[in-house]
Structure 1
Amino acid sequence: VLDSLAETVFELGDNAGPGSAMKATNQLLAGVHIAAMAEAITFGITQGIAPDTFLDVISKCAGTSWMLENRAPHIVSGDYTPRSSVNIWPKDLGIVTEMAAASGFAAPITQTALAQFKSAADLGLGFEDDAAVAKVYAHRSGLTLPGENT
């Protein structure tokens, strides 16, 4: 059944535990990558790097990621039409940090990414694309991102 619904299916065992753990692990990486991309692009802007130049260069360097290549164009264009909303990440990263705490695992980078997404939601950005987490960094740095009013 799953093979007809998904492009790739991984066999992780006969119960839900390993699948849930793998999903949480993926969400940890995805959320952290989005938050790191947002921090990097806004840091670059504070250093005089144009957003489109950031995307052109970093997408061809070791610092790239699928999330950077997929989400940074939203920031460059100023289009925060949701493909995946900010509100998903406090939930998903909250699950990850709860799982980590329950197993005695420290997850400081995940905690920081979670805080950034919560800040974005608190700024009223919850229903915008998750790339809008960059607006948290911009707001704190006095930056105006593409597509924002000055």
Structure 2
Amino acid sequence: MTDKTRIAVIGLGSMGYGMAKCCLKAGLTTYGYDIMPAQMEKFQSEGGAVGALDDVASSLDCALIVVLNAPQTEAVLFGDNGIVAKLSKGAVVVACATVPPAFARDMEARCAEHGILYLDAPISGGSLKAASGNLSVMASGTAAAFERARPTLEAISEQVFELGDTAGAGSAMKAVNQLLAGVNLATMTEALTFGMTQGVTPEKFFEVIPKCAGTSWMLENRTPHIVDGDYTPRSQIDIWPKDLGIVLDIAKSAKFSAPITATVMQQYLAASGMGYGAEDDAALAKVYARNAGLTLPGDE
């Protein structure tokens, strides 16, 4: 395939919009769809192809699904107005949500019944990397699915990890990543607010710790949100009970004890219960701050 590749990005949120723009930049004919009409109109005004999904589905090479979770993925694919039945045989679905491996395998099988390829392709890197085309993709699927999805993968990613020839392996690796990311984020907010009890300001924390052994990607990416007092959601608190719930469900099925993950889950649930669920996930620091009587930047 060449730059005549035609794709639809379904889900123009903080990740999907940037990915769709990267597909445009790569020269792919790119349609963008979202439950928010304003997002679709904005994308079309910036060069996105115009056309109703029902009208263009049969001409697509790839449907890139960038929604929140398994129920939304299933609804897009097989709901009342599901896209799979409208795609031409041999087209590929590239599914990017964090989902249980068993769900990914089920979607692959159901797509195959319609002659549609399926790539289990969860992503990592955040909204900035989505916008720059530098995501990491943890993918698994048939050789044919990889081949059909290649122009799309090249447009959105810095690295594609090919993890197996059936769906499920990509989602399993994403679960491993989310365990680490969720725990790292919680530990960062705990350390930052602990430091405040000892006179270490968030600004000084961010000056020193990224140069020390205690740093992590999550620390370096999220601490500036706390320092700036800016909790505009790049990744919401409420994503983590879902993602860590998947991790804990997998662990339970494997009879694997994951006590640190289970403890961290309670902090995210507490943050959501306190009303921070729709805020940036760095707002987890507010749980610690409230419990310790601390004042975070922006809350003076």
Distance 1:17 1:24 in 2: 11
Counterpart of 1:42? 193
Report which of the two has the higher share of helix: 1
Cα distance per residue 1:77-99 (max 9 Å; x no partner) = 11111110101000000110111
Counterpart of 1:13? 164
SS at match of 1:106: coil
Distance 2:211 2:157 in 1: 29
Following TM superposition, by how much is the alpha carbon of 1:17 offset from its aligned partner in structure 2, in angstroms? 2.0
Structure 1 stretches lacking a partner, 5+ long? none
SS at match of 1:124: helix
2:176 aligned with 1:25: yes
Counterpart of 1:81? 232
Counterpart of 2:295? 144
Report which of the two has the higher share of strand: 2
Cα distance per residue 1:18-70 (max 9 Å; x no partner) = 11110100111111111000000000001111110011000110000010000
Superposition misfits of 4+ residues, deviation over 4 angstroms: none
Higher relative contact order (CA 8 A, sep 6+): 1
2:215 aligned with 1:64: yes
Identity of matched residues, %: 64
TM-score (norm 1): 0.96
Structure 2 stretches lacking a partner, 5+ long? 1-148
Distance 1:86 1:66 in 2: 17
Distance 1:7 1:53 in 2: 32
Residue type of the alignment partner of 1:86: I
Residue type of the alignment partner of 2:181: A
Matched positions, count:
149
Distance 1:106 1:148 in 2: 38
Counterpart of 2:100? none
Cα distance per residue 1:102-135 (max 9 Å; x no partner) = 1011111111111111100000000100000010
Counterpart of 1:52? 203
Distance 1:7 1:50 in 2: 35
The alignment's C-alpha RMSD in Å is: 1.0
Counterpart of 1:128? 279
